[in-house]
A = this chain, B = another copy of it.
């Protein structure tokens, strides 16, 4: 079994940003993503998550290291000033590297 190094980028943001973020993912070349609703607490206060429009989502995307770089750069420049969010990357290993 051969595994390949990739990056897992995790984004936690207000649900409002959903469409903008998934559009960005397509633009930087991600081939897929996984998304779910979360509650959260942070510098911009608690997000209890009972109204979907006011809630948080977590988006996880596995991408190549270069795509991860572009993604984080654009998140920092275009999204961090506008939306309540955090983003971080983490090293993972995948099978079928052509899929990502």
Query: What is the CA–CA distance of A62 and B38 in the complex, to the nearest angstrom?
Result: 15
Question: A27-48 vs B: 1/0 string, CB under 8 Å?
Answer: 0000111111111111100000
Structural contact, B90 and A91, CB atoms closer than 8 A: yes
Query: What is the CA–CA distance of A31 and B58 in the complex, to the nearest angstrom?
Result: 17
Sampled A-B contacts (11; CB under 8 Å): A1-B72, A1-B73, A6-B88, A22-B41, A31-B43, A32-B86, A62-B86, A62-B88, A86-B99, A90-B91, A91-B91
List 20 extra interface pairs beyond A22-B41, A80-B96, CB under 8 A: A1-B72, A1-B76, A3-B89, A8-B90, A31-B42, A32-B42, A32-B43, A32-B86, A33-B40, A35-B39, A35-B40, A36-B37, A36-B58, A86-B94, A86-B99, A88-B92, A88-B94, A90-B90, A90-B92, A90-B93
